[in-house]
Structure 1
Amino acid sequence: MPQLENLLRELIRNGRWKAGERLPSEVGLAAELGVGRSSVREALRLLARDGLVDVRHGSGTFVADVLPAIAETPDVNELLRRARLLEAYEVRRALEVEAARLAARRARPEDVERLKLRLRNRQERIGDEASAFVDADLDFHRAVVELSGNAVLLGLFTTVEPVLREALVEMVEHETDMPDVSCSHADLLAALENGDVEGAIAATVENLEAALTLIRTESADR
């Protein structure tokens, strides 16, 4: 995760941890930065490769006693925002693809009619303030998860929904090149109406990959 590596570089450059100081554990850094432990481990490996930190097995990871020159990196808050946004979208993709697959098999005509109303509400909120649009968008996607008939998927979605909402509101507010995924939403609805499993999966992937591609591309450019 390049953006996490850059974030840690920036924190070291700004003196968050002094030369020779021990960094928090991988678990502690992951919790503090809101990212996965494996991402922290990989970022620390790259920093060690570049001589910024010293990994001492059995003792921990320490800032190097003599730091090499550290190139300028993007704003810390922006890097942190993008790291969290990417992970939130990766979780969302995993949940919603499976939900769409099941919903295409189980949705009844009356369910699809109610879903049409939610999609219409989402479309009418385009251009409104970010929170109103995001609430309408998540209402539509929650309904699809509900139509999956899988209580575990719904429970997972309910658990991550607050994180998704926060990330999506930030995305709508900050991104200037947000992709228009109205067509993929319409395609998903049509697939559910027709019981088209592959079409429902394809529409969900198209919707979420558009945003994931934007996040990954802009993170790599920074």
Structure 2
Amino acid sequence: MTELRRGPVVPQVASLLRERLRHGGFSPGDRLPNEVQLAAEFGVGRSSVREAVRLLVQDGLLDVRHGSGTFVAAADPDTGDVRQLVRRARVLEVYEVRRALEVEAARLAARRVRPEDVEALRAGLRERQDRRDGDPAVFVDADLAFHRAVVELSGNALLLSLFTAAEPVLREILTEMVRHEKHLPDSSVAHADLLDALERGDAEAAVAATVANLEPVLCGVRSAVS
């Protein structure tokens, strides 16, 4: 049975299914295991599998044929660009939410951070930088851990809940970007600026650093969608 992380289940199951489609030897037209089998494999309820499949259907990766099962979608050159556009639009929505919640979290964290918190953030930032040229999934985990720590320091339980809900989707999106996009902007300076602003208790500088970190990727996704 696959062990899932803590947090929302459906995005994690959807991510696992995408990996299965990429690396599991499936071809267009192949039938997937049924809901009962997938639920047992992932250790989740059938409703979670059903919702995850629905997300992949929206992305054009799967076809559900009622009475027959779920099949890998055929590669159709006439609709490939449209499917990619839909995927990017969903990435855009997630990133817009991320920007909004992390900007406010940074503002609040700058007002509430303590010296011992700064030291923990500094260690987290070093971990992120050390992982930058390694395995994309490990790097993304370190990056999100740093950002999660900032959100936690905001002291706002609702912001933290929103971040927790978005985290599995962000992890999937960012890992895919780091692995496949050749010209992603280097946000190391923006991360260092954010840490410096938090250490000084400068809320506006913390907001500016957060925007500098997230806005380049957001602009790139917006351009791809438009």
Q: TM-score, normalised by structure 1?
A: 0.65
108-117 vs 121-130, which deviates more? 121-130
Match of 1:182 in 2: 188
Match of 1:118 in 2: 124
Distance 1:148 1:133 in 2: 24
Instruction: Kindly state the Cα deviation for residue 127 of structure 1 after the two structures are TM-superposed.
Output: 1.3
Match among 33, 57, 60 for residue 58 of structure 2: 33
211-220 vs 164-173, which deviates more? 211-220
Instruction: Kindly state the Cα deviation for residue 139 of structure 1 after the two structures are TM-superposed.
Output: 0.3
Residue 194, structure 1, aligned to residue 219, structure 2: no
Distance 1:78 1:177 in 2: 18
Structure whose CA Rg is larger: 1
Q: Secondary structure of the residue that 1:98 maps to in structure 2?
A: helix
Instruction: Kindly state the Cα deviation for residue 76 of structure 1 after the two structures are TM-superposed.
Output: 4.5
Instruction: Kindly state the Cα deviation for residue 134 of structure 1 after the two structures are TM-superposed.
Output: 0.5
Match among 111, 119, 123 for residue 105 of structure 1: 111
Long gaps (5+) in structure 2: 1-53, 60-77
Q: Secondary structure of the residue that 1:75 maps to in structure 2?
A: helix
What aligned pairs does 1:1-222 form with structure 2 within 5 A after superposition? Answer: 33=58, 74-220=80-226
Q: Secondary structure of the residue that 2:213 maps to in structure 1?
A: helix
Distance 2:83 2:56 in 1: 16
Identity of aligned residues (%): 64
Q: Secondary structure of the residue that 2:185 maps to in structure 1?
A: coil
Distance 2:137 2:220 in 1: 20
Q: Secondary structure of the residue that 1:143 maps to in structure 2?
A: helix
CA distances 1:121-168 after superposition (whole Å, capped 9, x unpaired):
001111112101100000000000000011111111111111111111
* Residues 130 and 76 (structure 1), Cα distance of their counterparts in 2 relative to 1, 3 Å cut: farther
* Residues 177 and 218 (structure 1), Cα distance of their counterparts in 2 relative to 1, 3 Å cut: farther
Instruction: Kindly state the Cα deviation for residue 174 of structure 1 after the two structures are TM-superposed.
Output: 2.1
Two-structure CA RMSD over aligned residues (Å)? 2.2
Long gaps (5+) in structure 1: 1-28, 35-71
* Residues 30 and 122 (structure 1), Cα distance of their counterparts in 2 relative to 1, 3 Å cut: closer
Q: Secondary structure of the residue that 1:159 maps to in structure 2?
A: helix
